[in-house]
Structure 1
Amino acid sequence: MSQPAPITLYALSTCIHCKHTKEFLDRCGVIYDCIFVDKLTGDERKAMVEHIKTINPKLSFPTILINGEAIIGFKEKEIEEALRNL
């Protein structure tokens, strides 16, 4: 059984900051899960929104979870620091 990636990007497909975050993670060469919340539907979407609210009560995007640490917004320096600590 494979382990889930220690990095999850919660994003919106139409969000430019989410796009920049995804591109940055790709350039860093890390493996991560990307969940486009606006592409989910019904109960799956509701459950995901509730889950993200436990990490980021303001439900703003992007929300990045790196090894349990939440980073809200596209903040290169914070993301780099969190990646170094993996």
Structure 2
Amino acid sequence: MEQKSKIVLFALSTCQACKKTKTYLNDKGLEYILVELDTVDTDSREKLLKELRKYNPRETFPTVVVDGGAKVMVGYDEQVINGFFNQL
């Protein structure tokens, strides 16, 4: 799959749905920026949460942001994720 889009994955290191999303992205060979909010210091976490709220005010995980918010996917559902990334 040729990739032209910038993908950011907001996740938690302990979140099973986040792990499934990471596995999906890796299996598809997609490059992405991984932001695990529970593995950063408090100051960084606050800044990252502020960024996450722009795309997902409920702050739920995983949240996938494509091209600065042009597309946003929250949660993990196999059918949804397949359709979401097939449209990139």
TM range (shorter): 0.7 to 0.9
Residue 76 of structure 1 aligns with an amino acid whose one-letter code is: E
Query: Residues 27-71 of structure 1, C-alpha deviation per residue, up to 9 Å, x if partnerless?
Result: 111111111011111221101011101110100000011233110
Question: Which residue of structure 1 aligns with residue 81 of structure 2?
Answer: 79
Q: CA separation in 2, counterparts of 1:20 and 1:82?
A: 15
The answer (yes or no) to whether the contact 1:12–1:37 under 8 Å persists in 2 is yes
Q: Gaps (5+ residues) in structure 1? A: none
> What is the RMSD of the two structures over their aligned residues, measured on CA atoms?
1.4
The one-letter amino acid of 1:16's match is: Q
1:55 is aligned with what amino acid? Answer: Y
Is the contact between residue 66 and residue 83 of structure 1 (CA under 8 Å) also seen in structure 2?
Answer: no
Say how many residue pairs are matched: 82
TM-score w.r.t. the length of structure 2 is 0.83
Q: Give distance in 2, aligned partners of 1:42 and 1:27.
A: 32
Partner of 2:28: 28
Q: What are the within-5 Å matches in structure 2 for residues 1-86 of structure 1?
A: 6-67=6-67, 68-86=70-88
- Matched-pair identity in %: 32
List 4+ stretches of structure 1 deviating above 4 A: none
Q: Structure 2: give runs of 5+ residues left out of the alignment.
A: none
